[in-house]
A and B are shown apart, each in its own frame.
Chain A
């Protein structure tokens, strides 16, 4: 685990700035080149290259049978992917936007998540469901939802979300290679974030399910993932001026959940704030806070706090800045930790 304060560490070799979108596209390409069973399907993934251009060039390189424009029907896309996986393929499904994935929810929870269990291991479904999620891009309604809590509540699914260019490549490769279904949440706000990244020596990621400490600190731990990681890193830098030395943990995987890394960090710092965009009530933060309390109660100097989106339907774009947790809201929570501790 690195104590680097920079989210995007440079890599040795031929590195140049690359975006998360490029790294995701490269991960798809490399997976398809390596394994002929990998098929990409979804609305607009072929000729157009996806509305975010993640699948750009795949249909040309691998043919329309491997990167397939489907009819506009999310349940049909995922349902067909189930049958394809039953016949030995490894489908990678693109759901165009977070809220567009909801029509496929029944296929996901009733079949994708359950087939291994239902058939007692005889028929695992190696499906990756790519879902661009989260706000901050000025999208109108149904284009900015944070849907991770729904997926986390479904046993049988892995739920992962990268926050760095490195992880975007490595986690997507790992997800496609996994014999279990993975909901791969892509923080679309970070699609155009850049980092020095070498496609020639791409990252190897630890098995799905490991969190990583992005910044070491002693005063408190910020626990976050995906689009909120840069916010937390910025907050941690700013907190230095107040004399607070914050640790930042990037979960990377929401299911499975890395209790060990989170608990070890909070035991060191004694204080924790969970930060995410999705609604607080019934959201991932409640589960994470409960886990921390169960494991670290005697180490805690203050209650575990949550900084989350409001419990409202995602607001129209001209108001979203009020909804999304920003640096100030994170720092306010950190200040409350200090107050609760009586300092």
Chain B
């Protein structure tokens, strides 16, 4: 017996499914095919001279900070330093677009953004120096702890922004992550939560080409990292990460959009890490000198300097003045970092719980006894 011969089969007609339509039109969410640029285009003439000078000063200061911190690793004063040289435009723009009440959620490479937001340059290096996990009170400048797990801080930014909105505060959270971090599960979950909750968050991906040694092509098969936004239902913006003015403009628009209830934005800054991953890494094993040189010609400081000098807003004296101020900052940093931090070993037990457990009290007593036993030797000069 065939199917058609079954009783009642002749009367059967498949019912078409209910009409389907996409929840959101994806077209407005798609990034531009080319990274957005201002410097070197006609639009640059409209940029505010005061803003240009401010960005320039901060870029030069940031690069000097990176150089000084790297030098401190060679002197053994810092355990490690992941330089952001070449990425200063992303770092500075991220800090400058935020209001005081907003929150910055940096990754481990974003010391410059934290310092540009007002953190003490020495306190910002605590994690990397190895004296404290976080050298500052996150609430003071509204900067989440610089930390080493990848992309974990993105859902924190979403939760904080969501909580602020529930409380009726027009606070925006700007969360930073690298290209490698976009492969982590927490990146996905954070973007999804932010879009579903319409949380006032800006995600800034600094695509600097490599996750330690792994190039972007081995990191993702997406047309761009900004394209990932579309799948979550938020706009993706692709921007030249070495163009400080473009960065400031795109991030500023995203922050304004978030603040006004427009929801999250994913911004991909296309940039390049001029130094190795950290001082402990050898970048010559995985990238070629020609590529580095090509990016050197597209240096963020030179780009902005060209605009400023071309428009007659900055002369040799001005450039010299900015450099000298940056040198003074570096000298101060060097001097303060040359002093050994004074640490109390008993602090090991101080902040595990609000109230110490019996077990921790016992262990604290043990360490106290060990420290007391060591003391006479030191006093004897041994």
Query: Is B354 within 8 A of A179, CB to CB?
Result: yes
A-B residue pairs in contact (CB < 8 Å), sample of 17: A73-B189, A75-B185, A76-B155, A76-B192, A80-B155, A80-B156, A80-B158, A82-B159, A83-B155, A88-B167, A89-B163, A106-B149, A110-B152, A117-B133, A118-B134, A120-B351, A209-B357
Q: What sequence of 0s and 1s flags, for each residue 121-138 of chain A, a beta carbon within 8 Å of any chain B beta carbon?
A: 111100000000000000
Q: State whether the Cβ of A65 lies closer than 8 Å to any Cβ in chain B.
A: yes
Is there an interface contact between B163 and A84, defined as CB atoms closer than 8 Å?
A: yes
For the complex with contacts A75-B185, A79-B159, 16 further pairs of A-B residues with Cβ separation under 8 Å are A76-B158, A80-B156, A81-B159, A82-B156, A84-B163, A87-B159, A103-B185, A106-B149, A110-B149, A115-B145, A118-B133, A120-B347, A120-B351, A123-B138, A180-B353, A259-B359
Chain A residues with CB below 8 A from B147, complex form: 110-111, 118
Given A70-B193, A83-B162, A110-B152, does the pair A75, B157 have CB atoms closer than 8 Å?
no
Distance A259 CA – B362 CA, assembled complex (angstroms):
12
A147: Cβ under 8 A from any B Cβ: no
The answer for the CA separation of A75 and B193 in the assembled complex, in Å, is 11
| Contact code string B189-225 (vs A, CB < 8 Å = 1, else 0) | 1101100100000000000000000000000000000
Given contacts A83-B162, A116-B353, A122-B139, contact A111 B193 (CB under 8 A): no
Which of B157, B351, B358 neighbours the largest number of chain A CB atoms within 10 Å of its CB?
B351
- Residues of B contacting A156 with CB < 8 Å? 352-353
Q: B144 contacts the other chain (Cβ, under 8 Å)? A: yes
Please state if A83 and B156 are interface contacts (CB–CB under 8 Å). yes
Q: Given the complex of chains A and B, what is the CA–CA distance between A195 and B359 in angstroms?
A: 34
For the side of the interface on B, what is the size category? Answer: 35 or more
Q: What is the chain A residue whose CB lies nearest that of B354?
A: A179
Instruction: Assess whether B357 is in contact with A88, with CB atoms less than 8 Å apart.
Output: no
Complex: A117 Cα to B190 Cα, angstroms: 24
The answer for the CA separation of A313 and B137 in the assembled complex, in Å, is 43
Residues of A within 8 A of B167 (CB): 87-88
Q: Are B189 and A86 in contact (CB under 8 A)?
A: no
- Find A116's partner among B144, B155, B166, B352 (CB 8 Å cutoff): B352
Q: How far is the CA of A180 from the CA of B138 in the complex (A)?
A: 18
Partner of B359, one of A73, A76, A257: A257
Pick from A80, A83, A115, A209 the residue with the most CB of B within 10 Å: A83
Q: Are A83 and B189 in contact (CB under 8 A)?
A: no
Tell me the smallest distance from the CB of B362 to a CB of chain A, in Å.
9
Q: Which residues of B contact A116 (CB under 8 A)?
A: 351-354
- Checking A84, A117, A258, A260 against B160 with a beta-carbon cut-off of 8 angstroms, the contacting residue is A84
Measured CB to CB, the nearest residue on chain A to B199 is A80
Is residue A228 within 8 Å, beta carbon to beta carbon, of the partner chain?
A: no
Quick check: is B132 within 8 A (CB to CB) of the other chain?
A: yes
Residues in chain B near residue A286, CB distance under 8 A:
none
Contact with A along B129-143 (1 / 0, CB 8 A): 000111001110000
B307 proximal to A (CB < 8 A) = no
Please name all residues of chain B whose beta carbon is closer than 8 Å to the beta carbon of A256 when the two chains form the complex.
Answer: 353, 357-359
Q: Indicate whether B350 reaches chain A with its CB closer than 8 angstroms.
A: yes
Instruction: Tell me the nearest residue of chain B to A74, going by C-beta.
Output: B189
CA distance A122 to B160 in the complex (A): 16
Instruction: Give 5 nearest A-B pairs by CB, closest first.
Output: A83-B159, A79-B155, A76-B189, A80-B159, A83-B160
A235: shortest Cβ distance to chain B, in Å? 29
Please state if B144 and A86 are interface contacts (CB–CB under 8 Å).
yes
Q: Are B157 and A121 in contact (CB under 8 A)?
A: no
Contact status of A87 and B353, CB under 8 A, knowing A76-B192, A119-B137: no
Q: Tell me the bound Cα distance from A83 to B164 in angstroms.
A: 10
CB nearest to A41 among chain B residues: B159
Number of A interface residues in the complex (CB < 8 A): 49
- In the complex, whether B154 has a CB less than 8 A from a CB of chain A is yes
Most buried by A among B137, B144, B163, B193: B163
* A278 / chain B contacts, CB cutoff of 8 Å: none
Distance between Cα atoms of A118 and B196 in the complex (Å): 30
Do B134 and A119 touch (CB < 8 A)? yes
Q: Does A26 contact B (CB under 8 A)?
A: no
Flag whether A71 is at the interface (Cβ < 8 A): yes
In the complex, residue of chain A having the shortest beta-carbon distance to the beta carbon of B175 = A83
**Within the complex, what minimum Cβ distance (angstroms) separates A337 from chain B?**
27
0/1 interface trace, chain B 341-360, chain A, CB 8 Å (1 if under): 00000010011111001110
A79 with B186: in contact, given A84-B163, A107-B155 (CB under 8 Å)? Answer: yes
Does B161 lie at the interface of the complex (its beta carbon under 8 Å from any beta carbon of A)?
yes
How many whole Å from B94's CB to the nearest CB in chain A?
18
Q: Note all chain A residues with C-beta closer than 8 A to B139.
A: 122-123
**Cα–Cα distance between A124 and B133 once the two chains are bound (Å):** 14
CB-contact partner of A79 in B152, B351, B352, B359, under 8 A: B152
A120 touching B186 in the complex, CB below 8 Å, given contacts A76-B192, A79-B156, A82-B156: no
The residues of B that contact A259 with a CB separation of less than 8 Å are 358-359
Distance of A196 from chain B, by nearest CB (Å):
33
Q: Provided the pairs A73-B192, A82-B155 are in contact, do residues A87 and B358 lie with their beta carbons within 8 angstroms? A: no
Which residues in B have their C-beta under 8 angstroms from that of A180? 353-354
Within 8 A of B (CB), among A280-325: none
- Nearest CB to that of B159 among chain A residues? A83
The reply to whether the CB of A10 lies closer than 8 angstroms to some CB of chain B is no
- Are B157 and A83 touching (Cβ within 8 A)? yes
> In angstroms, how far is the closest chain B Cβ from the Cβ of A182?
11
A255 interface residue (CB < 8 Å to B): yes
B190 lies within 8 A of A79 (CB): yes
Nearest residue in B to A117 (C-beta to C-beta)?
A: B351
Rounded to whole angstroms, the CA-CA distance of A84 and B352 in the bound complex is: 20
Instruction: Please determine whether B164 and A122 come into contact, CB atoms closer than 8 angstroms.
Output: no
Which residues on the B side are within 8 Å of A81 (C-beta)? Answer: 159
| Closest A residue, CB atoms, query B169 | A87
* B164-A76 in contact (CB<8A): no
User: How far apart are the CA atoms of A79 and B159 in the complex, in Å?
Assistant: 7
Which residues of chain A (69-108) have a CB below 8 Å from chain B?
70-71, 73, 75-76, 78-89, 91, 103, 106-107
Interface centre among A78, A123, A259 (most CB of B within 10 A): A123
Residues of B within 8 Å of A179, CB to CB, are: 354
Q: Is the CB of A86 within 8 A of B160?
A: yes
Most chain-B CB neighbours within 10 Å: which of A86, A88, A155? A86
Give Cα A312 to B342, complex, Å: 49
A255 CB contacts on chain B under 8 angstroms: 357
